[in-house]
Amino acid sequence: MRTADRLKAIGPYLFADLDLRRQQALARGVDIIDLGVGDPDQPPPQHVVRRLCREAHEPGYHRYPPYEGLKPLRQALAGWYAERFHVDLDPDSEVLVLIGSKEGLSHLCWAFVDPGDVSLVPDPAYPVYGVQTRLCGGEPYPLPLRAERDFLPDLGAVPDAVCRSATLLFLNYPNNPTSAVADLAFFEEAVAFCRRHGLLLCHDAAYIEMTYDGYVAPSVLQVPGAREVAVEFYSLSKPFNMTGWRLAFAVGNRDALGALRRVKTNTDSGQFLAVQAAGEEALRVRPREFISRMNAIYQKRRDVMLEGLEALGWRLPTPRGTFYLWVPVPRKYNSVSFAGMLLERAGVLVSPGLAFGREGEGYVRLSLTVDEDRLVEALGRIRAHARYP
């Protein structure tokens, strides 16, 4: 049996490898505190679950869904964008329902990246941007995200020759893995950059609702003229604790969505209609109330971890977005060896920064998706084995 040569361009998926290591440790009888994967530990809104159960009994909802997604769901998302961002979207041409953002991000590459093309990809970043570019025969060009620039890319440093070969610019704020945030002025710069070089700006807004201390994250579509060059991916996974439901949206430039839709209609048949109906419920019934309640939980967990790590020598900036901490490793470790030590000696699973890109070396990512008692226990275990620097 011969596999396709394109598989040689990619390695194992980060989170699948983390899960394997977790399972192996569990099999040895280790009590694992999993701070590795960003998977919410709280349930979705109960009224959303009830809506799913009710709609699952609807006979017509067990047939193929419309390719662009259930119209009331698209209308609900457009209504939420109007309320939340003051952005008016046409639900028929500027909103496309996805089977999770990961699916949409992947298929967007297939719509816009030919062999030899370049994607401008933040480093460190969610691995899907670069992996899917490579699977399409393209080449990711890394945009370093560094602390001295508040983990924002220097778009002006990209060579013109690279821009001439590029088709996509990926951005993600609030940012995974660094937890950095971006203001509207940065998005204005990014939109102007893409217009100047004829690129499609792809903004992964998976964590846009997860913000703290009064900070409110903007949508790239709030920039005047952004819809000429940009699409944004909005997911229900993190703000509504619906990661397993696989429900998200691409919104923005209608030509780009048309290209994405062409790939999707030849690849998948859409999400189960009962899940889509429940997604409408999430967006229409007290979404702000639920999001605020979850953010209060994560903010308290963030503060517990920051205080505990500070007592061990770390001095970290206070994140205003996501549910991650981007933590520098002690001097005698690299990101992989530090993550390995914490797993083997402390039973604490974290994500090594190198897995997110070369610029992630020297950091590990901690997820705040376990309850406070377990976070305090994790701090105690870390205290027994590591201090900074």
pLDDT tens-place values along the chain, 389 residues long:
988 888 888 877 666 776 777 788 888 888 999 999 899 999 999 999 999 999 999 999 999 999 999 999 999 999 999 999 999 999 999 999 999 999 999 999 999 999 999 999 999 999 999 999 999 999 999 999 999 999 999 999 999 999 999 999 999 999 999 999 999 999 999 999 999 999 999 999 999 999 999 999 999 999 999 999 999 999 999 999 999 999 999 999 999 999 999 999 999 999 999 999 999 999 999 999 999 999 999 999 999 999 999 999 999 999 999 999 999 999 999 999 999 999 989 999 999 999 999 999 999 999 999 999 999 999 999 999 999 99
Are 5-43+288-383 and 46-285 equal in CATH topology?
Answer: no
Helix/strand/coil for 48: helix
3-state secondary structure of 114: coil
Domain with residues 46-285, CATH architecture: 3-Layer(aba) Sandwich (3.40)
Q: What pairs with residue 365 in β-bridges?
A: 326, 351
Whole-angstrom Cα Rg for the chain: 21
Domain boundary assignment for the chain: 5-43+288-383, 46-285
Beta strand 230-235 with 200-204: parallel, antiparallel or unpaired? parallel
Structure tokens of 230?
A: 């940009």
User: Minimal CA–CA distance to 294: which of 248, 239, 343?
Assistant: 239
- 302-309 contacts: CB < 8 A, separation 24 or more? 302/212, 302/368, 304/372, 304/375, 304/376, 304/379, 305/366, 305/368, 305/375, 305/379, 308/375, 308/376, 308/379, 308/382, 308/383, 309/379, 309/382, 309/388
Phi, psi of 234 (to 5 degrees): -115, 130
Rounded to two decimals, the pTM is 0.96
Q: Which CATH number fits domain 5-43+288-383: 1.10.357.10, 3.90.1150.10, 3.40.50.150, 3.30.420.10?
A: 3.90.1150.10
Please report, for residues 105, 120, 189, 315, 376, the alpha-carbon distance to residue 192 in angstroms, rounded to integers and kept in the order given.
22, 15, 5, 35, 45
CA–CA distance, 251 with 374 (Å, rounded to integer) = 38
